[in-house]
Structure formats: structure tokens, C-alpha cells
């Protein structure tokens, strides 16, 4: 086996030999740990909002500790995809099969479910009633550079918005066809990230595509009914949003008023 994998580990990646059960558990444990790290940071971000702290400062501070590291500390609207949810749930299920309760992992799953609709809470707090509101969403995939929508927070957001009587118009560079297969005509899609804003009462950002990071601000102002952005991925700098005159809410940072 060592000779077989030798061409793939020339940069020094380790080859570790273990029994099958330990190997399987290693994979589940690794992804569950990373999911826990993400969820912990989301909890810290939510607390930051209540006490007036800035989660970016906190993230940089704790990430400078080599025992913690700076990766997987960016707050947002929860994790999705095929690996983290599946592996975390598999670890919990495997534990129950042998009478072991993963209390921490159970909490991770519970917190993550609520975090997926955290942005909707902010939108509802702003408007009061979402019935009849037209809301634009940037990003449908669970992460950028994929069309994968499995467990994507955007889908949970869409469900909440529709249940509250809002209309949804959405744009994603890759994932729209997959979402169309789920929702059909229940929501509207646009082939352009700016056209999706036309007549919308607010923009919600669910995926951190690079195309969203440096938008045409003047076109955004022109197309939106109000200069309202609810950012679930903390794409923009607070000073920039203040200068642009937007009302801007993100995750774990102060709200910017126009």
C-alpha cells in the first residue's frame, strides 16, 4: 500500500495505517470537528451581535492561537453540502446504535439548523411582516464554485420566505437549474445578478461567490427599491457599506445605517 500511494505523497503527506473501524471513524470525526468549529463560531457571532462585539476581531484574535488556527472560523448562515451534514448525522446515528450519546454533535446539528434561517430573522425584524415583500437572493449553492444544493442554507431561507408570504427572485452562477427542479414556478430566477434586484425590497446573500464581492454599486442602488442588504456571508466591509449609504446587516457585526 505504501508503494501504491507513494506517487501521491511526494510533498510529505502522511500515510497512516489503521484498522477499518478506526479509519471510518477518523473521517467522521474530522468532518464533525470542522462542523463543530464552524458552528461554534456562528454561536460566537450571534453573541457578538447582542453585546456589541465585532466577530471579525474575535475571529482574528482566536485564530492567531496556533492551537486553534484561523481556518473554518468565518461565521455565516450554517454549513451544508454532502459531506458535513451526512458525516455528522452518521456519527450521531452510529453512536446511538451502541448506546452512546454525542451531546456536542447533537448540539451542532441543532444550532446549524437554526443558523440557516438566521438571515430571515433579521429581515423579518426589519420589515415586521414579509407578506407581499419581494426579496432577491444572491447564491443558491451551499458553497461557491459548485452547483451542489444539498442542504444549502439558501433552500431553507426560500422555504421560510415563501411560508411567510414573500415572493423570491434568485440568482446563482451555477446552481439555478438544480433549484428550478425543486421549486419550479414557486420562485423566479434571473440570468443576471443585477436584473434579479429590479423591484426587490431587499437583497439577501446566501453564497460567497467571487462575482458578488465587487459589485456595481450604482446599478444595485438603481435596481433595488431600497438600499437594503442582508449578508449571510459577510462579503463587504462595514466602512464601505456606510460610505455607499446602504442599510447593511451581516453576521456578528454591527448594523450599518444609511
Distance CA 135, CA 229 (A): 10
Q: Which of 34, 44, 83, 162 is catalytic?
A: 83
pTM: 0.94
pLDDT category, 110, cuts 50, 70, 90?
Answer: very high
153 closest CA partner among 193, 112, 211, 197: 112
Residues 130-178: pLDDT tens digits?
Answer: 999 999 999 999 999 999 999 999 999 999 999 999 999 999 999 999 9
* Residue 66: burial class (beta carbons within 10 Å; 0-12, 13-18, 19+): exposed
- What's the half-sphere exposure (Cβ side, CA atoms, 13 Å) at 250? 22
Active-site residue flag, 48 = no
Distance CA 160, CA 164 (A): 6
Distance CA 137, CA 132 (A): 16
* The pLDDT of residue 13 is above 90: no
Q: What domains are defined for the chain?
A: 20-115 (1.10.1040.10), 118-249 (3.40.50.720)
Amino acid at each position: 500500500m505504501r508503494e501504491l500511494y507513494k506517487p501521491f505523497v511526494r510533498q510529505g503527506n502522511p500515510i497512516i495505517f489503521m484498522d477499518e473501524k478506526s479509519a471510518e471513524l477518523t473521517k467522521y470525526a474530522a468532518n464533525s470537528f470542522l462542523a463543530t468549529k464552524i458552528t461554534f463560531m456562528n454561536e460566537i457571532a450571534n453573541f457578538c451581535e447582542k453585546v456589541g462585539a465585532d466577530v471579525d476581531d474575535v475571529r482574528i484574535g482566536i485564530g492567531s492561537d496556533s492551537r486553534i488556527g484561523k481556518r473554518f472560523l468565518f461565521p455565516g448562515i450554517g454549513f451544508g453540502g454532502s459531506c458535513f451534514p451526512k458525516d455528522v448525522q452518521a456519527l450521531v446515528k452510529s453512536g446511538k446504535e451502541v448506546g452512546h450519546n454525542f451531546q456536542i454533535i447533537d448540539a451542532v446539528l441543532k444550532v446549524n439548523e437554526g443558523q440557516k434561517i438566521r438571515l430571515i430573522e433579521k429581515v423579518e425584524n426589519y420589515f415586521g411582516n414579509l407578506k407581499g415583500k419581494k426579496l432577491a437572493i444572491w447564491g443558491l449553492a451551499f458553497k461557491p464554485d459548485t452547483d451542489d444544493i444539498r442542504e444549502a442554507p439558501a433552500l431553507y431561507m426560500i422555504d421560510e420566505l415563501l411560508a411567510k408570504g414573500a415572493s423570491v427572485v434568485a440568482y446563482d452562477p451555477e446552481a439555478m437549474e438544480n433549484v428550478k427542479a425543486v421549486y419550479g414556478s414557486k420562485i423566479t430566477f434571473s440570468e443576471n445578478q443585477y436584473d434579479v434586484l429590479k423591484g426587490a425590497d431587499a437583497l439577501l446573500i446566501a453564497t460567497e461567490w467571487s462575482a458578488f464581492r465587487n459589485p456595481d454599486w450604482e446599478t444595485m442602488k438603481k435596481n433595488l427599491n431600497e438600499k437594503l442588504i442582508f449578508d449571510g456571508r459577510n462579503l463587504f466591509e462595514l466602512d464601505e457599506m456606510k460610505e455607499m449609504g446602504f442599510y447593511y446587516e451581516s453576521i456578528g457585526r454591527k448594523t450599518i445605517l444609511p
